[in-house]
A and B are shown apart, each in its own frame.
Chain A
Amino acid sequence: MIDFQLDLQTFWFLALAFFWVGYLVLEGFDFGVGMLLPFLGKDDTDRRVIINTIGPHWDGNEVWIITAGAGTFAAFPEWYATLFSAYFLPLLLIVVSLVVRAVAFEYRGKHHTARWRGNWDKAIFVTSLLPALLWGVALSGLLHGVPIDGDKQFTGNFFDLVQPYALVGGLVTLTLCLLCGAVFLGMKTEDDLRERARTISQRLAPIAAGVLLVFALWTAWGVMDEVIPNLLLLIAATGAGGAVVLTTGRQNEGWTFLVVALTIAFAVFGLFVQLYPNVMVSSTAEANNLTIYNSSSGDYTLTVMTIVALLMLPIVLFYQAVTYYVFRARVGRAQFEGLGQAVGEVAEKLHVAEPHPPQARVDPPTE
């Protein structure tokens, strides 16, 4: 059984697991929305609606990974150093994706030609897909193990990072993000777009459940032998399966979203529980495993950071919840119609200030 005691190291391990859950649930849906953009957006207005569903949120969501990264740096410097240098190429792809993605959201609407917007849409698709896949590869690699020597140095090459098990792990996060994004879009849009989002979530749910089941079984039989984490993973797979049933219902997108979010939470948490007390398994020798104890900061730093985290997290969770409450309304096409190409391009040619879009009187979207 897992030998568990709540010391500072364990607290920080759990805190990081929490950041990862927060990240993969929250950025998970906005990655999903980004990937579905070209498939669900039939025209520019649709695509604007889709992007605006995550508009107020994606930036705040992304901070979860920044905090997970910085928290790892502060609490487990050796883990941070070994992980980031070992996963150099995947992290390069991830970080470049996140850079381009942030800029793409902001710049897409700043110019009116179809080519400009089309290029940024493609960029949003690719830069949502790559991190969604690669984070799963990296996280499952921690468990699967990569070559690490007695000095905590990675001694493998790129192909040690993309083992079949890790690739399945990547597919898990990819499909879960897609599903989460589809369900989120169903919850946040109206009419045709909402229907399309619902249809696609019904198709995605069994795929996500299947991939997760394969991963859970592989983890149980192939990689580790603990009972509890495997149970967590199985619950997660069941949850993804449950989303199938729920998505076929009519008015329950909120509940479906909750189930998918819990699925991601269970899957990620299952992985972390499985990992504990290791943080990175060495495939070279068990003695070389990085653990929460041999890679952590001193007690003083851990204590300071624990106080800071306990003080700040409730506040952060509160105001992030506020944004979701403020922007709880569905986003509809009506908000954007009339804001389109023609107006902008005439203004462009005349080189004058963009006139006010001839807005139809639209009722504020309500739920």
Chain B
Amino acid sequence: MTLDILPLADAALDISRWQFALTTIYHFLFVPLTIGLAYTLAIMQTFWLRSGDEQWLRLTRFFGKLFLINFAIGVATGLVQEFQFGMNWSEYSRFVGDVFGAPLAMEGLMAFFLESTFIGLWVFGWNRLKPGFHLATIWLVAIGTTLSAYFILAANAWMQDPVGYELVNGKAQMTNIFAVLFNETALLAFFHTMAAAAVTAGFFVLGVSAFHMRRGQDVQAFGRSARLAAAIVVPATVLVMLIGDDFMRNMVNRQPMKVAAAEALYDTETKAGLSLFAVAPLEANPGETTVNVKIPYLLSVLATNSFDGEVIGINQLQAQYEQKYGPGDYVPPVGVVYWGFRGMVYIGGLLMVIALWAGYLAWKGKITTNRTFQKVAIWSIPLPFLANTAGWIYTEVGRQPWVVQGLQRTADGVTTAVPVWQMGAALGTFIAIYGILIIVEFWLLKRYAQRLPDPVRDEAERSEPVPAMSY
């Protein structure tokens, strides 16, 4: 390899990594809200049909519009995800396609068709379908989003913790689909993500309802949605933590380097403390921390369920990996992993406190009147999005330098056949388009969230197939 090719090869890798990071983070802003809101809508519409209470109908349609604004961009940006594996990561695709492609194709056949077809029926089927069938369509959309989450997380889990394969001619070949689909890592990631989706949508509904209750508008309807949201976020914020805790113990065995980096734990310790706050020189791998405030014993307890359990440090793991995989740097950028993990956990903790407050107020019947809480609830809307993003940064950066843990390095997965300028053009295009779209999306969501729900129509009007939510 000559010297002048080298920087270009690096540029292709860097551009592709930035593109993947940006487009994936962007895509995942919309996904958890879609999943969580789909269920929330399904529940609201079920309440309406069972109780005949028109407020639930108004709420279904009100949050339905917000859901659709969000759904469109989530679906659209999901397409980019599938395409860029082949476009920017073709060597990765060649290596893993036999295993990784299967859950993706299952996602298309079982999930995308379901959600995309039934969303059309739900949007355009008001008053045209029998009420029970129409209700079923939104439940099917919700199930579709869940299946989609499951399959894509199973695919991602295989990158974190490859199972059910053998290497044939230097490529991964699947030997057991059930090992891939029922991988413990996949199941934990799935339940953790589903709980996070419920948190995201719950706080969204809570915040929007609080906005209107604070203005004294339509308090009857928004009191209902606020109480429903409280009933969602209380268990969801707790579950996301509990499952996350389980997930971490799984990771101690499957990806110990990620855990060590998340704790900035350089040397193996028994009776390891859980780091609360650490400072280190600003480098990918500073080698030590200058300040590290810890809660004694807690990391050992969390990671091993015992006070004097051993947690292996970055330096020891690096040495192990060098023996196993040959010379190289096996340490991810520690600061990013450390703060990604903390961002997720700290925001998650804060959300749990707010959720419990919401639950208490809802129980006492004060959620419609407590103005301080309502203000907090409005400002909590962005928090789950930040926590979700931080969690994914932690998960994906913590796996580096691997794209498939222990099997393929990220640097070996990038496409070699595409000129760097084309990759640069792609990254630039995505930044421009996504930049415009997020402004439009935010503006529309805000506008529609601040409007009042439509009044209920009289019977005669409701019997008409009006394209109320359509274009």
Contacts and interface: CB of A to CB of B under 8 A. Distances in A.
A80 B174 contact: no
B110 interface: yes
Given A74-B97, A74-B101, A92-B426, A84 B87 contact: yes
B69 interface: yes
Interface stretch (A182-190, A238-246, A354-362): A354-362
B413 to A, nearest CB: 10
Contacts, number: 262
B3 interface: no
Contacts of B76: 98-103
Contact of B104 (A70, A298, A327, A353): A70
A85 B86 contact: yes
Contacts of B284: none
B417 A62 contact: no
Contacts of B86: 69, 73, 80-81, 83-85, 91
A288 interface: no
A66 B85 CA distance: 13
B73 A62 contact: no
B97 A89 contact: no
A62 B75 CA distance: 10
A10 interface: no
Query: How big is chain A's contact interface, by range?
Result: 35 or more
Nearest to B104: A70
A224 interface: no
Given A69-B108, A106-B68, A109-B470, 15 more contacts: A52-B124, A56-B124, A63-B117, A73-B100, A74-B104, A75-B105, A83-B86, A85-B86, A85-B418, A88-B87, A105-B72, A297-B173, A298-B168, A301-B173, A327-B124
Chain B interface helix/strand/loop/mixed = helix
B105 A91 contact: no
A359 B123 CA distance: 19
A145 interface: no
B77 interface: yes
B107 interface: yes
A99 to B, nearest CB: 4
A60 B97 CA distance: 25
A78 interface: yes
A69 B425 CA distance: 23
Contact of B429 (A74, A75, A96, A356): A96
Contact of A85 (B80, B90, B430): B90
B93 A77 contact: yes
A81 B96 CA distance: 11
Contacts of B121: 56, 322-323, 326
B461 A356 contact: yes
Interface of B: 68-69, 71-73, 75-77, 79-80, 82-83, 85-87, 90-91, 93-94, 96-102, 104-110, 112-114, 116-121, 123-125, 128-129, 168, 171, 173-175, 177, 415-419, 422-423, 425-426, 429-430, 433, 437, 440-441, 444, 447-448, 451-455, 457, 460-461, 464-467, 470-471
A182 B101 CA distance: 36
A309 interface: yes
B72 A95 contact: no
Nearest to A95: B83
B470 A52 contact: yes
Nearest to A78: B94
Contact of A82 (B77, B90, B99): B90
Given A62-B116, A153-B417, A304 B79 contact: no
Contacts of A48: 471
13 contacts: A66-B108, A67-B109, A70-B82, A70-B101, A70-B108, A72-B101, A96-B433, A99-B79, A99-B433, A103-B73, A308-B106, A312-B110, A352-B452
Contact of A63 (B80, B112, B171): B112
Contact of B83 (A76, A91, A101, A153): A91
Contacts of B82: 66, 69-70, 73
Give the top 9 A-B pairs by smallest Cβ distance, nearest first.
Answer: A77-B97, A84-B86, A74-B101, A106-B72, A67-B108, A353-B452, A56-B120, A73-B101, A102-B76
Chain A interface helix/strand/loop/mixed = helix
Contacts of A106: 68-69, 71-72, 471
B108 A60 contact: no
A199 interface: no
A248 to B, nearest CB: 32
B105 A353 contact: no
Given A85-B90, A326-B121, A60 B116 contact: yes
A313 interface: yes
Given A106-B69, A301-B98, A301-B173, A55 B93 contact: no
A326 B125 contact: yes
A63 B76 CA distance: 11
A84 B117 contact: no
Most interface-central of A155, A301, A352 (chain B CB within 10 A): A301
Interface string A318-330: 0110110011000
Given A85-B417, A319-B117, A75 B101 contact: yes
Contact of A298 (B85, B174, B423): B174
A108 B123 CA distance: 15
